[in-house]
């Protein structure tokens, strides 16, 4: 259909004029209420500077940087799952204990039954699928509000966990394959390979997209904007890889600890796959449609109920992945795994990252950015003050600020007609 459009006809006039224009467009969108991850990124930078200035030494140490990744991993994965449910305008309060239950199943199959780790992992993931299916069926088919269903599941799963773990109280995990996820690091050279793959992949995928749009005669991002993005990501990735590849063993012990933690691969993999699903497939598009206007989606022939069930399955299954990470990090599973503030931190992470509680707005990367914000607070504050009360208050305030930004940007969006 583009037969008459020759190469000569493809003008760069249709392209956005350059970096200046791209920046202006972006701020026009932000002013119009399409605020995205901007507050979270600014907040993250501000918090790092604040803790760095207030505390100095330990917070900014390379050891702590790696530690931060470990602390945020489970929350990030849990938040990724919650994004799917939040996009629909629903909530899953049971995700924390879904993680705990899956971890308990993993521990029982692995340690008590002595089976191989792939079987245990599969059993844990399957647990997540089943939990999600039950929640999804109750919400979509019976029409019970997700708040109530998942509140009930929150209680029930807590009990299920106790029953699965049994009288012992804590089940240790000794399988190396599971433990290495949260405790192992990549060889230095592999870390650099990963860095090159990330930046190169980002550059190539975006270049192909620009090319495709040019060929079709549509306005495309200019090359200068593309280059700026690639360079910015490149600097970020190279600095992070360099820092993680430094020896970070604290004094005395003569063991070498260096390299990018393996869990980074898990998180990046999920980020890429889930972003692809949400942004590039019909299924993902329909999730946004249902979150934006359920009736319109239904009339457009979208299977709203099936979609909702699938989203709850995604959420609980990702929670199961988070449960495996928790088990790996603690070397054991106890009745408190996935309990306490785990879920609230994960919901907080998604919302702080820019996912709307009202549905229809949010991205998988929000979970990563928001999860890092939460982890920075949880990690930095104890270094400044010993009072754990302050930590809860501050985390609560940050969540309130994020929810306010969400609500205000929504009001703004309707006021400016955006």
Partner 1 sequence: MANDTPLLSLRGINKSFGPVHVLQNVDLDVRAGRVTALVGDNGAGKSTLIKAIAGIHPFDSGQVTFEGKPVTIHGPKQANDLGIEVVYQDLALCDNLDVVHNMFLGREVKSGVTLNETTMEKRAGETLSGLSVRTLKSLRQQVSSLSGGQRQTVAIARAVLWNSKLVILDEPTAALGVAQTEQVLNLVRRLADNGLGVILISHNMNDVQAVADDIACLYLGQMAAQVEKDQVSSQQVVELITTGRSGDIGMQDNSMGGAA
Q: Are 306 and 58 spatial neighbours (Cβ–Cβ below 8 Å)?
A: no
Complex with partner 1: residue 302 or 319, whichever CB lies closer: 302
- 306: CB partners within 8 A, 6+ apart: 140
Q: How far is the CB of 28 from partner 1 (least distance, A)?
A: 10
Find the binder of partner 1 among 99, 139, 302, 309 (CB under 8 A): 302
Complex with partner 1: residue 141 or 280, whichever CB lies closer: 280
Binding range to partner 1, per CB under 8 A, among 48-56, 101-109, 296-304, 396-404? 296-304
Is residue 218 a contact point for partner 1 (CB under 8 A)? Answer: yes
Q: How far is the CB of 306 from partner 1 (least distance, A)?
A: 13
Is residue 132 a contact point for partner 1 (CB under 8 A)? Answer: no
Q: How far is the CB of 418 from partner 1 (least distance, A)?
A: 4
Is residue 6 a contact point for partner 1 (CB under 8 A)? Answer: no
- 209: CB partners within 8 A, 6+ apart: 220
Find the binder of partner 1 among 114, 118, 301, 389 (CB under 8 A): 301
The 353-372 contact track toward partner 1, x by CB under 8 A, reads -------xx-----------
C-alpha span between 96 and 246 (Å, rounded)? 34
Is residue 217 a contact point for partner 1 (CB under 8 A)? Answer: yes
C-alpha span between 304 and 320 (Å, rounded)? 24
Q: Are 213 and 228 spatial neighbours (Cβ–Cβ below 8 Å)?
A: no
C-alpha span between 292 and 286 (Å, rounded)? 10
- Helix/strand/coil for 261: strand
Residue 47: closest CA among 407, 322, 392, 370: 370
Complex with partner 1: residue 118 or 301, whichever CB lies closer: 301
What DSSP string describes 380-410? HHHHH-S-HHHHHHHHHHHHHHHHHHHHHHH
- Helix/strand/coil for 171: strand
Is residue 34 a contact point for partner 1 (CB under 8 A)? Answer: yes
Find the binder of partner 1 among 83, 186, 289, 381 (CB under 8 A): 289
C-alpha span between 173 and 177 (Å, rounded)? 10
Residue 278: closest CA among 270, 265, 289, 287: 287
Q: How far is the CB of 285 from partner 1 (least distance, A)?
A: 6
C-alpha span between 64 and 145 (Å, rounded)? 41
Residue 55 CB burial class (10 angstroms; 0-12, 13-18, ≥19)? middle
Is residue 2 a contact point for partner 1 (CB under 8 A)? Answer: yes
Find the binder of partner 1 among 256, 280, 400, 408 (CB under 8 A): 280
Q: How far is the CB of 188 from partner 1 (least distance, A)?
A: 35
Find the binder of partner 1 among 8, 142, 143, 299 (CB under 8 A): 299
Binding range to partner 1, per CB under 8 A, among 41-49, 249-257, 278-286, 321-329? 278-286
Is residue 414 a contact point for partner 1 (CB under 8 A)? Answer: yes
User: Hey, what are 151's tokens?
Assistant: 């509140």
Straight-line distance from the first to the last Cα atom of the chain, in angstroms, rounded to the nearest whole number: 33
Is residue 385 a contact point for partner 1 (CB under 8 A)? Answer: no
Is residue 32 a contact point for partner 1 (CB under 8 A)? Answer: yes
Is residue 300 a contact point for partner 1 (CB under 8 A)? Answer: yes
- Interface residue list for partner 1 (CB under 8 A): 1-2, 32, 34, 212-213, 215-218, 280-282, 285-286, 288-289, 291-293, 295-297, 299-302, 360-361, 413-414, 416-418
């Amino acid at each position: 259909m583009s037969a008459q459009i020759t190469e000569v006809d493809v003008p760069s006039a249709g392209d956005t004029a350059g970096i200046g224009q791209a920046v202006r467009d972006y701020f026009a969108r932000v002013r119009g209420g399409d605020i995205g991850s901007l507050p979270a990124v600014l907040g993250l930078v501000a918090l790092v500077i604040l803790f760095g200035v207030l505390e100095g030494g330990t917070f900014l140490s390379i050891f702590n940087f790696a530690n931060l990744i470990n602390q945020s991993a489970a929350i990030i994965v849990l938040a990724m799952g919650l994004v799917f449910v939040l996009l629909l305008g629903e909530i899953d309060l049971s995700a924390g204990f879904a993680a705990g239950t899956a971890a308990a199943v993993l521990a029982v199959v692995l340690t008590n039954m002595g089976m191989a780790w792939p079987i245990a992992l599969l059993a844990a993931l399957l647990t997540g699928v089943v939990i999600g299916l039950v929640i999804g069926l109750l919400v979509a088919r019976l029409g019970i509000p997700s708040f109530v269903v998942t509140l009930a599941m929150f209680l029930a799963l807590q009990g299920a966990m106790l029953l699965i773990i049994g009288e012992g109280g804590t089940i240790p995990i000794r399988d190396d394959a599971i433990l290495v996820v949260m405790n192992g690091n990549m060889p230095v050279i592999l870390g650099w390979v990963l860095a090159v793959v990330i930046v190169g992949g980002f550059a190539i995928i975006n270049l192909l997209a620009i090319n495709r749009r040019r060929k079709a005669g549509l306005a495309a991002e200019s090359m200068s904007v593309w280059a700026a993005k690639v360079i910015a990501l490149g600097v970020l990735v190279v600095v992070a890889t360099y820092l993680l590849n430094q020896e970070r063993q604290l004094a005395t012990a003569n063991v070498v600890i260096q390299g990018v933690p393996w869990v980074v691969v898990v998180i990046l993999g999920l980020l890429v796959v889930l972003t692809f699903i949400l942004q590039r497939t019909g299924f993902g598009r329909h999730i946004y449609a249902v979150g934006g206007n359920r009736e319109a989606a239904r009339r457009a022939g979208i299977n709203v109920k099936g979609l909702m069930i699938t989203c709850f399955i995604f959420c609980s299954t990702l929670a199961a992945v988070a449960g495996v990470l928790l088990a790996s990090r603690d070397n054991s599973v106890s009745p408190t795994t996935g309990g306490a503030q785990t879920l609230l931190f994960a919901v907080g992470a998604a919302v702080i990252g820019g996912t709307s509680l009202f549905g229809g707005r949010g991205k998988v990367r929000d979970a990563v950015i928001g999860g890092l914000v939460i982890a920075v607070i949880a990690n930095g504050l104890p270094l400044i003050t010993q009072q754990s009360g302050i930590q809860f208050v501050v985390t609560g305030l940050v969540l309130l600020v994020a929810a306010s930004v969400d609500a205000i940007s929504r009001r703004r969006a309707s006021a400016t007609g955006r």
